Structure 1
Amino acid sequence: MPETMRAVDIQGKTGPATSLHITDIPKPVPAAAQVLVKVKCFGLNRMDLLQREGLYPLPPQAGPILGVEFSGTIESLGSPQEEGFKIGDQVFGLAYGGAYAEYIAVYTKMVVHKPSHFSWEEAAGIPETWITALQAIYVIGEFTPGKSILWHAGASSVSIAGIQLSAADSASKVLATARQDSKCAFVVDELGATAAFNTTSSNWSEEVLKATDGKGVDIIVDYLGASYFQGNLDAVAKDGRIVHLGCMGGTKLPEGVDISGFIKKRIRFEGSSLRSRDMEYQGKLRDQLVQHALPKFEKGEYKIFVEKVFPWEQVAEAHQLMESNKVKGKIICRIS
């Protein structure tokens, strides 16, 4: 009989947050170039909600267990020696899935040594969000110092990372949007954004143009899709980049959308995802995280914002809190 472990499963394979429950499943065995990590904490992401509802296109490497980011200790090695890692090492990392469990087998290319001053909760909130932000800024957005950038959903975890990265790397202006005044204040006062605009009480695209003296922003990072599509075209600068990472505002454009900006402004609109990428692509971004961001974490220049930590037995309540859209930062579950 194979060894078993506890993991979060979905009653009926898909369903509401209340369908989440802890059950026993086979314990993974690490293959070559992998380590087996005993999970201390895992982070929640918007894709987890979509996957739970059966609305997320899973890559072939992902199994049915939710979760792509975690922190923990190395329990065993897939090979007698894995370069740079040993049993007992404290690590955090990114996986294709399976982090909502007591153990996870993950490739060493996607594992990072945890700095001693990071809590388990903080470390579990880094991989997916900060790597996604790095990808959006540098790989897709082609950011260079002096460019301006707009982050939608400014109090979301990816934008919290992105705003800090943009400000530290000398963006001329770091703008953001949010749906609550308190979140707008948070991204300006706590994260250092130049300005933030409430999309429920203002015409945010007009405000962006005012803030940039009519030029618009060089890079827009968007998770909303259809509902912000026209506004993005209006607010982006000539030769600008719109980085499309999600469709929380729908996928069908309303009648009357004017796409002439693509030609008039020479706009590049590019969609991307991280989870569907191959190991080589993800590994390069992991290396960028280690080289570009980790030193500033260690100096305290970058902050990890954790909204709330749940015991993993309350994972359903954690999902419900994320669904409320009232959080600023990461939601983390800790395995007892």
Structure 2
Amino acid sequence: MLYREMRKHFENQNINSDDEVFELGRKLGLADHVIKYEYDGCMYANFIVPQNGVKRLSEKAKVDFKLYDSELKYKLSEVPVTFDIYPEFIETKMHRVDTIDRVYEEKLMEEKWSRNKTLQRYKKKINSFSELENTICKLNGAFGEREEYHKSLEELITAYGTRRIHTKDSTAWINFRGCYSSKSLNNFWRVYSHIFDYTDKAIEWGGEPLSLQYLSELCDREEKNLKDFLVAAMEDGMIRKIGKDMFSITGHAASIHKCISSKYHLNRLSVIIRRKKKQRFILLIGENSLYSQKIKEVIYCDTKRVENYWRLFEADTLSDVIAKIMDIITAFDIYEDYYYWPLIRT
């Protein structure tokens, strides 16, 4: 796998030229156009960032690449689920990259989950906490009862992915618990806010290019040093150079902007439920720096920080996991203004 080789070779050293990455890919038998596609994707996703005239793997890449292997054994047996919390109901979501095996996706359909036109997202409307508890139990029954996976990532992709005719390999969208974070966002928030008003997509997805002159004018307006901004933003994987004096925001930056503009911190909770040996459970809870202090306190209670901005809660039973999820949901400020009693526990 190209990402594994990149981590092995570049975890502690710079990428001095693009040729070094292409050479790694060729040794794996990959065609140049496939390597270029993956390499461009690394730039888009904030995996490769420039620094002092060369490129390096970002800290995000180092963590994510490691998780591809270290958490592989859970991929068929964990339950990754997102809760969008509204006063009248809770919308529960899972994605194609989370379920992997189409056999288990059919179980979602049997339980009256709907899916979008691209067949990539599954969701179910929950009208009460008792229904939420029942849904989590059924999800654990469908996904959590499977055995841990002890083969390689390549074998997983071959088994559950799509065979590509031209390159004679397999491809699969497989989700690992990533995160969106930016060190430069706070320091240059006003500059970024103007950029996001101008374009909210990377250029590959129809976004507008950013000229050096435009960025210079923004920095002058907000009394920020242009060079400091460019260095910080590119090293942070928020923007990248696409030509002479031309830049684009990255997919990573676009995702951060969407999270902020959509105000996910007001109503979204992402968790992963894993069953350990001897029937014990782990609940991974996604952090959000914009969560209210009340929500943070409930999340932090009896949990510890793990890699990639997640909190880990260990439980003896699935009921303990469900109770923790419900405690967090009821901590959302939405319930201070609305009292829809079917959703509030008594």
- TM norm structure 1: 0.28
Which has the bigger relative contact order, CA under 8 A and spacing at least 6? 2
Q: Per residue, is there more helix in 1 or in 2?
A: 2
Q: Is the strand fraction higher in 1 or 2?
A: 1
So what's the TM-score if we normalise by structure 2? 0.27
Query: Rg bigger for which structure?
Result: 2
